A and B are shown apart, each in its own frame.
Chain A
Amino acid sequence: MKRFALSLVLLTTLGSGLAIAAPSKKVKAVAPPPPIVEEQEPAPPNDVLEPLNRATFALNDGIDMVIVNPLVTLWNGIMPTFVRTGVGNFFNNLDDVYVGINHVLQGNGSAAGADFQRVAVNTTVGIGGLFDVGAKMGLHKVDGDFGQTLGAWGLPTGPYLILPLIGPSTFRETTGRFARIATDPRSYLDPVPSYSLMGLEYLQTRADGKANEGLIAASSLDRYVFVRNLYLQKRALMVKAAREKTSSAASAN
């Protein structure tokens, strides 16, 4: 009796399975999807200054709405694409010097070599950095900054921090930013050209990021948290990559 019941069930199950499967030509091996392995829950972000950060975040939104967005729209509207690309390339070329310096500080000689090669090619063939000839030669721009170097050296991230105008940062990245400003030759120009150049770079950076900002605003429920997570993920990845290079360089010595 038991056996009969079992085989009956078996038969009907198989039968119905076949009946369902028959119309579609491609019958796939049906295996139950594996259960989701709960990775250990990531540690909550270090955001002890959240109330202050949220206030600065809102302030930045206000500044964006009143000043930055109209300027970006104007900039995108009056400047032809090739000019905007040229301006972007020009500042990227300046930045590549710092990327190279940081790769040296991180003990990543090969990356530094590529960075300086980019600067050399783009400054000469690329007419002062207006054209990114390096990228066309397969030398793509990579990330590198003082905050990353400090991280590679073992300095912890520290609390998350929203900077006025600039946006997401951390204590460590802010320290790196100061190092950059202190070593930037533009800081030692007269105020008018100095601020104009920095303002132009800021505008260009913001114009570049516009599409992503729109996508983040459209897809997030709490934009503050969403942006914080994306930013911290990105910084952690950059530091991890640099750390791996630094330790492999150290062990090679």
Chain B
Amino acid sequence: MQHFIGHLARGLSLAGSVAALAFMLGFSHAQAETVAPDELVRKLAAEMTAAVRADPELQTPGSLKISDFVQKNIVPRFDFERVTQIAMGRNWAKANPSEQKQIITEFGRLLTRTYSNAIATLKDLEVEVKSTRVITANVDVTVKTQMIGRPQPVAIDYGLINGPGGWKVYDVTVEGISLVAAYRDEFGGLVSSSGVSGLIEALKKKNGG
């Protein structure tokens, strides 16, 4: 019986990869349909600026409609798990699975909540996709964009990863400055001074609960 389970387990992972392969071969035409990352960024930016311009409620920071809009349109396009792992760096391994889950949730909430308020500024802005740097073909790319409408154009780069849910953003740099890197310093400091639980505590406190 043990013998069988062993085979089953091994077969399962093999089957998994075969299944993935079958999908890739069988549905390669479907893949052509999926949106390329730069196209995705362009489309999302255009849709969002159009939505904000059309709806005065989306121009009022803190409105319920904004958080709803963000939950629907932006959150699904972010890979918070990956963002959190990068922000944690080597401290990620110090957290147990349940702590990891909590950090992902709380950090995702923090990012969503704080940057929701920036949505309103999209009213006067235009996003231009400049170029795409391929890190690993079809897997990991950086889409370089420029935000126009301020006295000076602002360069914003999006790191995207292709996973089961399609392309998702896992890093954002503004004028070459990585926000995730800033969080890594913060998280590192908190973990070394008050441990993983201290970090979770601080995140929860920041989120107001």
Contact = CB atoms under 8 A, between A and B. Distances in A.
* Interaction A to B: yes
Interface of A: 2, 5-6, 9-10, 13-14, 17, 21, 26-34, 36, 38, 41-42, 45, 132, 135, 140-141, 215, 218-222, 225-226, 228-230, 233-234, 237
B110 A219 contact: yes
A13 B16 contact: yes
A28 B27 CA distance: 8
Interface string B5-29: 0011001101110111011100110
Contacts of B115: 219
Given A221-B186, A222-B186, A233-B181, A34 B139 contact: yes
B11 A10 contact: yes
Contacts of A218: 114, 117
B18 A10 contact: yes
B27 A237 contact: no
B90 interface: yes
B50 interface: no
B98 interface: no
Contact of A17 (B11, B23, B33): B23
Contact of B7 (A2, A222, A226): A2
B149 interface: no
Contacts, number: 136
20 contacts: A5-B11, A10-B18, A28-B31, A29-B27, A29-B30, A30-B23, A31-B24, A32-B164, A33-B162, A34-B140, A36-B86, A218-B117, A219-B114, A219-B115, A221-B186, A221-B199, A221-B202, A225-B186, A229-B181, A233-B177
Interface of B: 4, 7-8, 11-12, 14-16, 18-20, 22-24, 27-28, 30-31, 33-34, 79, 82, 85-86, 89-90, 110-111, 114-115, 117-118, 136, 138-140, 151-153, 161-164, 166, 175-178, 181-187, 189-190, 199, 202-203, 206
Contact of B12 (A9, A14, A220, A230): A9
A50 to B, nearest CB: 10
A247 B182 CA distance: 29
Contact of B177 (A21, A141, A225, A234): A234
A226 B183 CA distance: 7
B3 to A, nearest CB: 9
Nearest to A241: B176
A42 B90 CA distance: 11
A233 B174 CA distance: 11
A11 to B, nearest CB: 9
Contacts of A221: 186-187, 190, 199, 202-203, 206
A135 B19 contact: no
B16 to A, nearest CB: 6
A9 B15 contact: yes
Contacts of B90: 38, 41
B163 A33 contact: yes
A222 B190 contact: yes
A132 B115 CA distance: 30
A225 B8 CA distance: 50
A218 to B, nearest CB: 5
Contacts of A36: 82, 85-86
Nearest to B140: A34
Contacts of A21: 23
A159 B69 CA distance: 44
Contacts of A226: 182-183, 185-186
A79 B178 CA distance: 34
A229 B19 contact: no
Contacts of B176: 233-234, 237
Given A29-B23, A41-B90, 20 more contacts: A10-B11, A14-B15, A17-B19, A27-B27, A31-B20, A31-B163, A32-B20, A32-B163, A33-B82, A36-B85, A141-B151, A218-B117, A219-B111, A219-B114, A221-B190, A225-B185, A225-B186, A233-B176, A233-B177, A234-B177
